[in-house]
Amino acid sequence: MTESNILLSKCLKKIERKLNWVASEQWQQKHFESLSELIFEKNKVRLSPLTLKRLWGKTKYDSIPSASTLDALARFLDYENWIDYQSHQKRKGIPLRFPFLKSKLHRGKPTRHSIETKFQFRGIPIAIGTGY
């Protein structure tokens, strides 16, 4: 499964949790029609029930969703657009680490290179060092 498919799958699951309806496996035409209306009310973009069925795998469709479809889904979840949704999800997926290196000690004192390390904070690579 590609990263895009994983993000889309997570997005659809978030929508399901937001709606708090029956499991999506049990959704019928009326559920997709209602979701279409809710999305339109929220962000004035109409996604057809057929498009929603394709996204949820109820209708066979091998193409990827359009940018406007992805934006509408993201806005329904209170993100600015799909790119904003992606960036939030990617930030959540990157653990914030502060590794403490215990090796490279010289007579119980850290060496210059033992403290220097790299980690990511909100997706931004950071390198720190003590200058010993």
For residue 103, is pLDDT > 90? no
Q: What is the pLDDT of residues 19-28, one digit of tens each?
A: 999 999 999 9
pLDDT of 124 reads 54
pLDDT of 19 reads 98
| 32 contacts: CB under 8 Å, gap ≥ 6 | 49, 50, 52, 53, 56, 58
Domains of the chain, by residue range, sit at 3-93, 97-132
Vertex 60: Cα angle to 54 and 64 (nearest 5): 55
| 120 contacts: CB under 8 Å, gap ≥ 6 | 94, 96, 97, 126
pLDDT of 100 reads 35
Share of the chain above pLDDT 90, in %: 58
CB-CB contact of 63 with 51 (8 Å)? no
Mean pLDDT of 7-33: 97
For residue 118, is pLDDT > 60? no
Instruction: Pick the range with the lowest mean pLDDT from 24-33, 56-65, 92-101.
Output: 92-101
